[in-house]
A and B are shown apart, each in its own frame.
Chain A
């Protein structure tokens, strides 16, 4: 009997101690779940995040998803208030739309030590809606022209600082040598609003075109769209790689890195890999210049930022904010530079990065990237007035569907299934119908 009582007392004490320990732990530490895409910057962040975990006592569960799956999961999670994630990786397209719907927590209360003024104004602007900052950037990019300096030197040609599309066409014709699998130009052809349409939108913008007029009427039947699409298809058929309608950013980067492209117009974030000798066969031959222009410089190069936001359904807002302040800080960028080298630091977000001598030395493309990001004007993306913001996208919820549908039609035109006129007629009808159904037009 006595033995039983003693056992009960010991068990009770153990339970009490255990509960106390448990409650103490719960009061100081939390586990946050971060849903993100798999790119080099995020992989780096995963590697370094134990430093933050150790410093704060909190824990991170990483959920790495494919870009489109992430968008779908994040949308479902927020709209159904499931609260599975505390931090989401989202782009500059989603941020203002989701912020407007109160799906995200405003991040206006970051301490002075975060030095928000150091973040490029164009980047802050892209992540702000109705005066509130809804996401903080971990990298930003624009688009510019990559070219093979060795080929240009050999041909006695000089790439202008600000090339025109007519010049790009002449160069591409000159450098195409199909017998040796060398293509004058590589451009995106894979259908999707963030794939072929990202590039084509910049071409349309600089050709004087726009998606919508001031009254949200679709303007895909304009001469500017016709000229831009005709130019794109002719150029790709004559000087592009075979099967171009399957090529997105990754495929073209691989083609360029393995010496198959003389020129490539795409995201500035591609420069780091092309400069890395362990991954690129043209590391010592690649050079950069601005994205080409035609009738107007407006919207000739895009702007995109991958950012991190806190969904309004998060139950760990304070801890999530603490992580965002650490992972997008100036100190974090320095930590990456000192730990893994300055070529892999998150680019395009902070002025201090571009004032850092280590970074400028390691990334000769830095000044081009900075100029491209600083001059990408999301509020004036076209020659004529438009009711929307966004250069390679239109910042309205319907654009994902619209852009992808038109992207599929453009890809069909590229493979010769439709003429340019047929493509634009169908695209105009489809976009008009969507805008009517969505209530933008009558």
Chain B
């Protein structure tokens, strides 16, 4: 019976994995087809693969520039986020005040505001500060957008750490900075890694602000993908190739760090 259950659970897991992976697989297939093959009904599974779409993309669009912007924006915004979120979560987890929970809820509630609601003020601010079409603008926005999630995640991880360890380090003479740096961080490293990974992924996938605040200099890969959507003419194959190129780095990054990510996300789940 137990064997059947394991088999069943494995089967369901595989099914979910296949369903999740299928769109990516289909996108990869479409990127290797001609435009007509990409829109064929019924869909084609057997065809002569071509790299023409990738060749066209590299010939016309500066992929490297877009990729550099994505990497720079994601990494810098994540570092900034950690710099602020770690001490904030530390204070809330180990020295909670009367309104700590309210503050946490309020922080989370800011994520519920549709981005378009603040488009005009942020656009005007960016214009007045000379930040339109700069990586700085996107770093600041991504950093602030992901800060509530970062604080929440780190707060949850920190709360799992026994308070006694923190107090013991304070008794031994460590100041707050030393306590965080030498005592807390090594203990919650998987949690911090998964928070950072999640932030990088969210920054990488951010499209709304990228499309609205950048033009040429700071446009990341999300803007690169959007540029392949054509008002007239077939474009699915080239759009798929552009999407594959855009998600490839983050997919590889996620694949390499999946062990750390899973460890972080299940941190403290089993005691």
Chain A residues at the B interface, C-beta cutoff of 8 Å: 33, 35, 37-40, 43, 46-47, 61-67, 69, 72-73, 76, 80, 82, 84-85, 181, 249-251, 253-255, 257-258, 260, 267, 269-270, 273, 278-281
Contacts and interface: CB of A to CB of B under 8 A. Distances in A.
A279 B35 contact: yes
Interface in B218-258: 219, 223, 226-235
Main secondary structure of the interface of B (DSSP, over half): loop
Given A47-B60, A82-B132, A279-B234, A38 B215 contact: no
B211 to A, nearest CB: 5
30 contacts: A33-B215, A38-B228, A39-B230, A39-B232, A43-B60, A61-B216, A61-B217, A63-B227, A65-B223, A65-B227, A66-B231, A69-B211, A72-B212, A80-B123, A84-B215, A181-B41, A250-B233, A253-B232, A253-B233, A257-B234, A258-B36, A258-B41, A260-B41, A267-B232, A269-B232, A270-B232, A278-B34, A279-B34, A279-B36, A280-B36
A258 B235 contact: no
Contact of A39 (B124, B212, B215, B233): B233
Contacts of B61: 64
B137 to A, nearest CB: 12
Interface in B103-143: 120, 123-124, 127, 132-133
Chain B, interface residues (CB within 8 Å), range:
20 to 34
Main secondary structure of the interface of A (DSSP, over half): mixed
Contacts of A279: 34-36, 234
Contacts of B217: 61
A278 B228 CA distance: 20
Interface in B152-177: none
Given A254-B234, A278-B34, 18 more contacts: A37-B231, A38-B230, A38-B231, A39-B230, A40-B230, A47-B60, A63-B219, A66-B227, A73-B212, A80-B123, A80-B124, A82-B127, A84-B132, A249-B232, A255-B41, A260-B41, A269-B232, A279-B36
Q: Which of A35, A82, A85: most chain B CB closer than 10 A?
A: A82
Contacts of B132: 82, 84
B20 interface: no
Contacts of B39: 251, 254, 257-258
Interface in B22-62: 34-36, 39-41, 59-61
Nearest to A91: B231
Given A33-B215, A80-B123, A280-B36, A250 B232 contact: yes
Contacts of B226: 65-66, 69
Q: Which of A39, A255, A267: most chain B CB closer than 10 A?
A: A39
B231 A249 contact: yes
Contact of B215 (A37, A63, A249, A257): A63
Contacts of A254: 36, 39, 234
A52 B218 CA distance: 25
A82 B61 CA distance: 25
A76 B217 CA distance: 18
B54 to A, nearest CB: 15
Contacts of A249: 231-232
B221 to A, nearest CB: 14
Interface in B47-103: 59-61
Nearest to B239: A38
Sort A-B residue pairs by CB-CB distance and give the 7 closest, nearest first.
A64-B227, A254-B39, A61-B216, A67-B231, A66-B229, A38-B230, A63-B215
Nearest to A141: B232
A251 B212 CA distance: 27
Given A46-B60, A47-B60, A63-B219, A40 B227 contact: no
Contacts of A257: 36, 39, 234
A319 to B, nearest CB: 16
A273 B233 contact: yes
Contacts of A255: 41
Nearest to B211: A69
